Amino acid sequence: MDNKPAVFIRVMQEALLGIDLTSLSHLKIGTEWAEVQILTDPFVVFRKDRYQPVVLVEELETELKYLLFVSAKSLDERLEPLRVRRGALVG
């Protein structure tokens, strides 16, 4: 058996390389359109005395990276079919 990490783990590690997650702010979702690229599959961060599921995203216009909290049901209902169809959220 090969000891290489799964593809999504490797992609997540590469996406997170050199990024201090504690310094990233979260992407604020509003009514305005924000074009983002998802850089990782979901993982958890410890914020506000609890673990919270997030994905790392890059806002395409500014190239800034943010954490996007994915615990909201309205967001999950859109992301999960995308993940199932494509096999991953990354990209």
Question: What are the boundaries of each domain within the chain?
Answer: 7-86
pLDDT score at 55: 87
Residue 1 has pLDDT above 70, yes or no: no
The string of pLDDT tens digits covering residues 55-90 is 889 999 888 889 888 877 777 788 888 888 888 777
Position 17 pLDDT exceeds 50: yes
- Reported as a single tens digit per residue, the pLDDT across 22-34 is 678 888 877 888 8
Q: Please state the pTM of the whole predicted model.
A: 0.67
Query: Does an H or E element contain 66, and which?
Result: strand 65-69
Look at residue 32 in the predicted model and tell me its pLDDT: 84
**Parallel, antiparallel, or unpaired for β 36-38 and 65-69?**
unpaired
Beta bridge partners of 46: 51
